[in-house]
Structures are given as structure tokens and as C-alpha cells.
Amino acid sequence: MSVTIDVSEHVAIVTLRWPERRNALGPQEADEVADAIDTAAGSGAAALVLTGEQAFCAGGDLPSILSAIDGATPADVESIVYEHFQKLARALRGCRIPTVAAVNGAAIGLGLDLALWCDRRFVARSARLGQGWARMGLIPGTGGAALLERLAPGLLWKLLGTDGELTVEEAAAHGIAEVVEDPVATAIEFATALSRAGTAALAGYVQLARTGLPDEVYLRDCARLQSHRLTSADFARRVERSGLSAKKA
């Protein structure tokens, strides 16, 4: 499966469709999703809804990542993080129409970061949210630390001191997301309401509302730090304990 784009008069829906791995993304899949966001942004729709089949995004696909970084230097890994995974961040940050995350199922690590990059977030009661990076001895490589701190100061440190999980009730209490019965339907309804303002006005709101989002300098720092974590002995030990291995070509 892949990623699909469904465009109506008011909304472009980008849906991740790798349900067999809960939409966990490797470098190639990250490129596909980023390209789909760019395409949807130019579709003429008033807003973009980002969602996933059966789950939102369970994070990075570790076997694919291990395969991509096998034998790579920190500089090589930095390029992989910046050019592929952070391509998602740049696509959402640069999207010229409002972005809405419709979170059904898991949004962990990279998945939570994707939701946080969106302008608004609707989550199902059954959604699972979390900053899963630290479990593997990694840092939020796609801007999640700054995004979470921007929305809910201090919450990142609380999550680091626990298991990293964030209940939907906590997300709502911190103003990170709104809990709804049907995130996709609610997001479409919201996009339709936004369309009444007109695309030119919405473009202005997008520019103003995203002031203060992580910039290129910040993302470069994330990529550099993550590259050293991914090539560390500590990460290798955590991978070995996890029982996961690189995907075979």
C-alpha cells in the first residue's frame, strides 16, 4: 500500500495506508507522504487533512531505518534524517493551506510530531499518543521537542520522566488536541467551515499562526544530534534488546 490523496471542493485528505505496520515510516515512505502533502497543498482545497488507515503513524519503521543506516557515518545518517524524515516537517511547515491532523489509533514518536506540526488536531477516544523517541535512546528528530514545548510548556519533561505516553484526556487538558468521536469527519467539517474565509485570507492566517515554529537551524540541530544517537553503541544495544533487525533488501 501507499499514501492516497482525496480532493473535494474544500478539503484534501492525505491518508497513510500501510496498516500492516500501523503506518510506521521508513525513509522511502516519508518521502511519499511529504510529496503527497505538497501535492495536496496545491490542489485548490481550502485545507488539508492528514490521517491514516487504522492508525495515524506509529513512528519510524525501525527495520527500514536500520537498513538505511547500516555502515553509515554520522554525517551520512544526518543527511538521511534531514533529507527524508525532516522532509515531512518542511512539507507541513511550508503548506500554504491550513493543516488538520485526524488521529485515529497510534501517533507515537514521529507520528506525534506529525500531528504537532499540523495547525489543529482532532483525536479519537481510542487514539494512543506518545513521545516514543527516548525509549530507544533517541531525541525527537523531527522537531517534536520544540513543538510540544510551544503548545504545552513543561509537558515534554513530564513525559520523559514517565513512560512517554499521553492520554487523550491529558492532550485535551493541555490544549494539544480535541477529543471527538470521528476525527476525519470532524476535520472535514472544520475544513468546510474554514473555506468560507477564502483561500487568500487563509494563507495569511497560516503565515501568521506558524510564527515561532522550528526553523531550518533547529531542524539541522535535530538531525545532527539524532545522527550521533543512531550511530551510538547505546542505540545498538537497545536495538539488540528489542529483537528487531534491519529489513533485508
Q: Rounded distance, CA 112 to CA 116, Å?
A: 6
Q: How far is CA 225 from the centre of its chain?
A: 18
Indicate if the pLDDT at residue 164 is higher than 90: no
Determine the number of helices (DSSP H) and then strands (DSSP E) in the chain. Answer: 12, 9
Taking alpha carbons only, the member of 29, 219, 65 closest to residue 139 is 219
Q: Looking up cell 515531512, which residue turns up?
A: 88
Indicate if the pLDDT at residue 246 is higher than 80: no
Q: Rounded distance, CA 249 to CA 243, Å?
A: 19
Banded model confidence at residue 45, pLDDT cuts 50, 70, 90: very high
Q: Rounded distance, CA 112 to CA 55, Å?
A: 12
Q: Rounded distance, CA 25 to CA 23, Å?
A: 6
Q: Which domains does the chain have, with CATH numbers?
A: 3-182+198-242 (3.90.226.10)
- Residue 102 is classified by DSSP as E
Indicate if the pLDDT at residue 249 is higher than 70: no
Whether the CA torsion 210, 129, 81, 92 is positive or negative: it is: negative
CB 96 within 8 A of CB 125: no
Give the E-state strand segments of the chain in sequence order: 3-7, 11-16, 47-52, 99-103, 106-108, 120-124, 128-130, 165-166, 178-180
- Phi, psi for residue 193 in degrees, rounded to 5: -65, -40
Q: What is the pLDDT averaged over residues 2-23?
A: 96
Angle CA 15–19–23, to nearest 5: 65
For 49-83, write each residue's pLDDT tens digit: 999 999 999 999 999 999 999 999 999 999 999 99
Bridge partner list, 166: 129
Taking alpha carbons only, the member of 127, 1, 6 closest to residue 57 is 127
For 196-213, write each residue's pLDDT tens digit: 999 999 999 999 999 999
Q: Rounded distance, CA 86 to CA 141, Å?
A: 8
